[in-house]
């Protein structure tokens, strides 16, 4: 097998996600790309005993209470803590600045609030409705989601409740697990046209969908991608193993090219008899992989970047319409400017390791859901068709990888601190500076690229 690693986000366009997307993005474009070698080899079966246990006393730990095989699992949240304990520390620390996008995403309902009619408008687009009443979670499933995205998303919300017992307000929300944003801004010209608040993993400048952390933070069983906490640990180990300058000077990518036209296009940049664009690309067919049983970690890329990251600071932007020459230039630039390239790689990694660690993923969810709930103009109620879900009803009947990932991502203790403080709304100037800054960086790279290709012959594409 060639050295390889998985890439998730690659092409810089206006789509953004909550996710893991970004790390792969960073690594991919930065000429080193072997950061993932260790990650791949390490992924595999890890027993639950390897999960770090904390120094806290045993009594506090609350694990699953699964019934003996053959008997039905009931919702056994009765033994769960209902609030955080007295020793809970008031950290008084600010959340990372990307939390400010929570205000931006919810801005469309700021004046009007969210009425039941608005929520119901999203009904036909949703995979499920999730209701929290009195700290308990109920789900009304409308249709199958892709793979087990819905399952792990609900699992994640249950873990949030375990982490911060008694802190989540009552709420009712609709969730769609598809990648593509569906609530088009142009159909809801402001102000107060009452768009449906619909949660999903991605959004973009033309859409109003509410961005929520994706399922893979709790594991992606179909592709054997472990929960984020474990993935981060693996990447860290992998990073240590090979120094930046010893990495191979290629851009690596592995993914499913059939998800979006922009991907199929990308494969043209692969090494061929005629030309080397410094890219090594591998296709990935999930269905085939899954038949054989999950063996290695792979990440599909579904979204492209995270709003907290800036081009040239955290990653290198690639042009949408001339990917191959753009990639070639990026890799060559990186090889010529190894210090700068390494600095970008490091800033990107730092962002991922520090600002996107699991604690902050939970805090993001906490604030998004809390701010969302504040806007509700109706009393959340459990609809007739909904069933209560608990970690027990979700995990006890699972086995294999599904069960393993749930155990790895199970929150075993309530947090001993309160969530970080939500930073304030962007003022319009800050937001403008942010977009201007990003735009300027991208233009700078484009100018460099254009200059380079004026003096270097460009081979025919598609050959």
Q: Which residues bind ligand NAG (CB under 6 A)?
A: 92, 267, 270-271, 280-283, 329, 332-333, 336, 399-400, 452
By beta-carbon proximity to ligand NAG, the closer residue of 194 and 249 is: 249
Q: Tell me the C-alpha to C-alpha distance, in Å, between residue 104 and each of 110, 152, 209, 313, 393.
A: 10, 26, 11, 23, 35
- 211, 18 contact by CB (below 8 A): yes
Query: Minimum CB separation from ligand NAG for residue 93, in Å?
Result: 8
Rounded to whole angstroms, how far apart are CA atoms 106 and 210?
8
By beta-carbon proximity to ligand NAG, the closer residue of 56 and 93 is: 93
Rounded to whole angstroms, how far apart are CA atoms 229 and 219?
9
SS (H, E, C) 47-67: CHHHCCCCCCCHHHCCCCCCC
Query: Minimum CB separation from ligand NAG for residue 232, in Å?
Result: 28
- 384, 129 contact by CB (below 8 A): no
Query: Minimum CB separation from ligand NAG for residue 270, in Å?
Result: 4
By beta-carbon proximity to ligand NAG, the closer residue of 260 and 267 is: 267
Rounded to whole angstroms, how far apart are CA atoms 234 and 227?
11
Angle between helices 228-241 and 400-409 (to 10 degrees): 90
By beta-carbon proximity to ligand NAG, the closer residue of 157 and 330 is: 330
DSSP H/E element including 265: helix 261-267
- Which residue intervals of 164-215 are DSSP H helices? none
- 213, 361 contact by CB (below 8 A): yes
By beta-carbon proximity to ligand NAG, the closer residue of 229 and 328 is: 328
Query: Minimum CB separation from ligand NAG for residue 421, in Å?
Result: 7
By beta-carbon proximity to ligand NAG, the closer residue of 3 and 357 is: 3
Query: Minimum CB separation from ligand NAG for residue 264, in Å?
Result: 10
By beta-carbon proximity to ligand NAG, the closer residue of 113 and 423 is: 423
Residues sharing a CB contact under 8 Å with residue 98, sequence separation 6 or more, in sequence order: 306, 307, 308, 355
Query: Minimum CB separation from ligand NAG for residue 336, in Å?
Result: 4
Query: Minimum CB separation from ligand NAG for residue 49, in Å?
Result: 20
């Amino acid at each position: 097998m060639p050295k390889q690693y998985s890439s998730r986000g690659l092409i810089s366009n206006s789509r953004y996600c909550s996710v893991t997307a970004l790390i792969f993005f960073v690594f991919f474009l930065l000429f080193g790309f072997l950061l993932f070698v260790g990650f791949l080899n390490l992924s595999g079966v890890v027993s639950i005993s390897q999960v770090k246990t904390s120094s806290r006393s045993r009594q506090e730990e609350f694990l699953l209470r699964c019934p003996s095989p053959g008997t039905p699992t009931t919702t056994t949240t009765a033994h769960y803590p209902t609030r955080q304990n007295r020793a809970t520390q008031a950290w008084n620390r600010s959340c990372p600045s990307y939390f400010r996008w929570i205000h931006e995403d919810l801005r469309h309902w700021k004046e009007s609030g969210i009425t039941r009619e608005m929520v119901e408008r999203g009904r036909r687009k949703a995979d499920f409705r999730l209701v929290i009443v009195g700290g308990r979670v109920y789900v009304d499933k409308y249709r199958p989601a892709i793979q087990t995205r819905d399952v792990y998303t609900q699992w994640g919300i249950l873990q949030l409740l375990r982490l911060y017992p008694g802190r989540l307000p009552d709420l009712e929300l609709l969730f769609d697990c598809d990648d593509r944003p569906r609530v088009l801004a142009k159909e809801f010209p402001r102000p107060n046209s009452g768009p449906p608040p619909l949660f999903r993993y991605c959004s973009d400048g033309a859409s109003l969908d509410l961005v929520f952390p994706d399922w893979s933070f709790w594991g992606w069983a179909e592709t054997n991608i472990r929960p984020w906490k474990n993935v981060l640990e693996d990447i860290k180990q992998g990073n240590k193993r090979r120094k930046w300058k010893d990495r191979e000077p290629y851009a690596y990518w592995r993914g499913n090219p059939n998800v979006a036209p922009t991907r199929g296009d990308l494969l043209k940049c692969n090494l061929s008899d005629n030309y080397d664009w410094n890219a090594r690309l591998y296709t990935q067919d999930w269905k085939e992989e899954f038949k054989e049983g999950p063996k290695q970690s792979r990440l599909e890329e579904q979204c492209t970047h995270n709003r907290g990251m800036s081009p040239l600071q955290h990653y290198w932007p690639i042009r949408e319409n001339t990917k191959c020459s753009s990639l070639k230039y990026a890799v060559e630039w990186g090889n010529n400017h190894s210090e700068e390239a390494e600095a970008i790689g490091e800033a990107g990694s730092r962002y991922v390791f520090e600002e996107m660690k699991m604690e902050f993923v939970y805090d993001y969810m906490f604030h998004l859901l809390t701010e969302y709930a504040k806007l509700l103009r109706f009393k959340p109620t459990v609809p007739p068709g909904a069933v209560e879900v608990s970690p027990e009803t979700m995990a006890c009947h699972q086995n294999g990888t599904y069960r393993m990932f749930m155990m790895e991502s199970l929150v075993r203790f309530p947090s001993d601190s309160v969530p970080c403080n939500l930073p304030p709304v962007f003022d319009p100037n800050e937001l403008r500076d942010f977009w201007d800054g990003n735009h300027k960086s991208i233009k700078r790279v484009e100018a460099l690229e254009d200059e380079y290709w004026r003096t270097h012959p460009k081979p025919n594409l598609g050959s």
